[in-house]
A = this chain, B = another copy of it.
Amino acid sequence: MRSSVVARSMYAASVTIYASSLGMQPAAAQTFEDLKQSRSPLVLKAQGSFYIGGNTVAMSQTEAGGYGVFAGGNVTVGQMYVQYMVPAVNRLRVPVVMVHGGTLSGKGYETQPDGRMGWAEYFVRKNFPVYVPDQVSRGRSGFNHVAFNKVREGSAPPSSQPLITRLSDEAAWSLFRFGPAFGVPYRDEKFPTHAVKEFGKQGIPDINAGLTPSDATPRGLSELAKKVRGAVIIGHSQSGLFPLQTALIAAKWTKGLVVMEPGSCDGFTDDQIKELAKVPILTVFGDHLDTPGSVVNWVGAYNSCKAFVKRINAARGEATMLYPPELGIRGNSHMLMNDKNSDQIADLIIKWIDKKVEKRH
């Protein structure tokens, strides 16, 4: 057999297990050899990708950024890239759409920073068809770059150009609640902080500030939900409220809404609450909400979502708060899908889907 990454990962995985059993710290950031291999093969009925939406705009040669004699012309912008995997099982469960947060991409649901299987594959192995988009204006969805080229050629002022954002390692540490001070993890911290450099590589430029319309991704998600004839939508952080926004566009096609750690659940009108009450909703928050230095007030965010859950239930909806510390599960970070117990968190969400979306009792 040819030497392959897989053979070597198996070897590396056993080394890691050995090291852990001695209470040793893994050797800093993830190396390629850390990629963990599953014990059983992944059997897919289908996998691939497609684009949702997008519209054609006419660009001048300079706007398009044409070099040489490339002419401008019609260019597609606003499209949303979606990857998918459908397991080869007779009884498929409800499709699940997983949306990433700020400065990140759909990569966040693939292989984890420490090499473990991401939620996309985990859910597929639990018989869910899984759809992972890149938010419109991020990653493989691309972005409308015209404002930048206009500034470059001098036909628009520099201030007209959208701000592009990245989160520094230091800012991420407190915002994502990896520990009480930069480089210091909580004693019970569930984020694999030894792989935090690898996590930093998942960061890419966030150009949402220039997005037109600003709700392009929820619109794309509503189209996606319709196309798959109903889906559970999972949002996180920057996209935490996207499931709710998607339901407000297409309640009929949203079968369940998983709202993970948005900055707030405030601001919905009574009419919107009435509409949202038609769909089962799960809000999810990790631990250490009072981490010092975080620019988001996570205690406030949690309380606002608790109040939101009450409003939905008062409107005869079915909303639940999943707060792992209440179940004795401590130390989860903001990055619940990357925490060392990410499978456990996934299982809690799947249990909720069982009960509230698929009504398996």
Contacts and interface: CB of A to CB of B under 8 A. Distances in A.
A272 interface: no
A4 B166 contact: no
A168 B111 contact: no
A72 B168 contact: yes
A283 to B, nearest CB: 23
Quick one: copies of this chain in the complex? 2
A95 B202 CA distance: 24
A217 to B, nearest CB: 15
Contact of A74 (B149, B169, B295): B169
Interface stretch (A60-68, A242-250, A301-309, A335-343): A60-68
Interface in A257-290: none
B92 A1 contact: yes
B70 A171 contact: yes
Interface stretch (A20-28, A134-142, A311-319, A324-332): A134-142
Contact of A4 (B92, B134, B161, B175): B92
B2 A92 contact: yes
A74 to B, nearest CB: 5
A201 B54 contact: yes
B42 A38 contact: no
Nearest to A51: B201
Given A158-B154, A295-B68, A94 B163 contact: no
Contact of A111 (B1, B30, B50): B50
A351 interface: no
A65 B164 contact: yes
A50 B116 CA distance: 11
Given A38-B46, A154-B158, A159-B152, A75 B168 contact: yes
A32 interface: yes
Interface residues of A, number: 103
A183 to B, nearest CB: 11
Given A111-B48, A121-B48, A140 B140 contact: yes
A149 B170 contact: no
A300 to B, nearest CB: 14
A168 B63 CA distance: 11
A211 interface: no
A64 B171 CA distance: 11
Given A74-B200, A107-B140, 4 more contacts: A4-B86, A59-B166, A65-B164, A151-B152
10 contacts: A3-B230, A30-B50, A41-B45, A59-B166, A65-B165, A69-B295, A75-B167, A139-B139, A152-B163, A153-B158
